């Protein structure tokens, strides 16, 4: 309910719960904090979330757990409030609660999306000092975050190459993250080379792989790559549906009027009909 922005209804249910004699516990307060954080007034929501957090610490039955800290740390990282993040981490260190992989990944993702690379790397260092081993999500968000900075693309590729060379299992989500870095930075040829080499490290593309490449190749007005991609899709049994093409239409806006966008959209024109959505 709170995630749908119905904070007042969530508050009413909380009051009704207490009035009926039910005693709230940590999970109830976590849900209440989450409800407030989905409201439109973010400053007020963060303040209210902190007040509930402090209230929880005074109730034996409702002590903050790792989920509580994860919710708040991510929220303040998204709000770019580094001081409050550090204060919460200090509180976490002094409590009996131990951070988990979600604690660090959530904060790194929030900082990364805000372009706060230094803060993201600080969380990564803290993660390692807590003997918390990075997982596939950690690597994916690092690749994505560095890739949003054009001068740091090589760092994304270094992480990807290190994963391949060290024998780590490469998931399709990691492949897509690296391909997306190339595509968002206007490097379709680099994306194509990586796509071609994917099977060498035993990764099979999925529909998301094809969708992001299709949009990138179309935007770059590279008919040959579009046709090549459609042939790969046919080989892998992936039939583009109506939504696939509709989501790629935005790329046409950047194509010069002289180009044949209709041909680009359908490759050679021999591709089988779109499946219904």
CB contact at 8 A, 65 and 71: no
Q: What pLDDT was estimated at residue 248?
A: 59
Residue position matching structure tokens 């991510």: 74
The larger pLDDT score, comparing residue 250 to residue 276, is at 250
The residue length of the chain stands at 277
Q: Which of 167, 173, 165 is nearest to 142 (CA)?
A: 173
Per-residue DSSP letters for 205-270? --HHHHHHHHHHHHHTT-HHHHHHHHHHHHHTT---BHHHHHHHGGGGGGS-TTS-HHHHHHTTTT
List CB contacts of 35: < 8 A, sequence separation 6 or more: 1, 2, 3, 6, 7, 10, 11
Which helix (H) or strand (E) segment holds residue 120: the answer is: helix 117-129
- Taking alpha carbons only, the member of 192, 143, 150, 148 closest to residue 170 is 143
pLDDT attached to residue 249? 59
Q: Tell me how far apart the alpha carbons of residues 215 and 265 are, in angstroms, rounded to a whole number.
A: 10
Tell me the per-residue pLDDT of 225-257, one tens digit each, with 9 for 90 and over. Answer: 989 998 888 888 877 776 666 665 554 555 555
Q: Is the pTM of this model over 0.85?
A: no
Q: How far is Cα 110 from Cα 106, in angstroms, rounded to an integer?
A: 6
Task: Average the pLDDT over 143-170 and give the result.
Answer: 94
What are 45-85's pLDDT values in tens digits?
Answer: 999 999 999 999 999 999 999 999 999 999 999 999 999 99
Better pLDDT: 98 or 39: 98
Query: Nearest Cα to 194, choosing from 181, 184, 206, 179?
Result: 179
- pLDDT tens per residue, range 93-143: 999 999 999 999 999 999 999 999 999 999 999 999 999 999 999 999 999
What are the tens digits of pLDDT across the range 180-222? Answer: 999 999 999 999 999 999 988 889 899 899 989 998 998 888 9
What kind and span of H or E run contains 105? helix 101-113
């Amino acid at each position: 309910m709170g995630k749908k922005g119905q904070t007042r209804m969530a508050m009413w249910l909380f009051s009704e719960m207490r009035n009926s004699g039910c005693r709230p516990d940590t999970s109830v307060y976590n849900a209440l904090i989450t409800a407030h954080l989905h409201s439109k007034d973010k400053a007020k929501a963060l303040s209210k979330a902190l007040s509930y957090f402090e209230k929880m610490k005074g109730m034996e039955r409702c002590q903050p757990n790792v989920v509580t800290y994860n919710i708040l740390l991510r929220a303040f990282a998204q709000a770019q409030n580094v001081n409050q993040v550090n204060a919460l981490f200090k509180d976490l260190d002094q409590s009996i609660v131990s951070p988990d992989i979600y604690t660090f990944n959530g904060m790194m993702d929030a900082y990364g999306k805000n372009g706060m690379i230094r803060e993201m790397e600080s969380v990564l260092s803290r993660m390692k000092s807590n003997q918390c081993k990075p997982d596939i999500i950690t690597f994916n968000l690092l690749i994505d975050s560095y890739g949003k900075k054009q001068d740091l693309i090589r760092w994304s590729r270094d992480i990807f190459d290190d994963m391949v060379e060290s024998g780590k299992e490469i998931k399709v989500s990691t492949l897509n993250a690296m391909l997306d870095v190339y595509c968002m930075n206007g490097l379709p040829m680099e994306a194509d080379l990586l796509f071609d080499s994917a099977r060498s490290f035993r990764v099979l593309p999925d529909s998301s792989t094809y969708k992001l490449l299709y949009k990138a190749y179309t935007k770059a007005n590279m008919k040959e790559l579009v046709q090549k991609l459609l042939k790969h899709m046919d080989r892998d049994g992936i039939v583009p549906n109506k939504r696939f093409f509709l989501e790629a239409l935005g790329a046409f806006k950047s194509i010069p009027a002289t180009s044949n966008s209709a041909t680009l959209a359908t490759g050679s024109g021999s591709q089988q009909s779109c499946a219904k959505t």
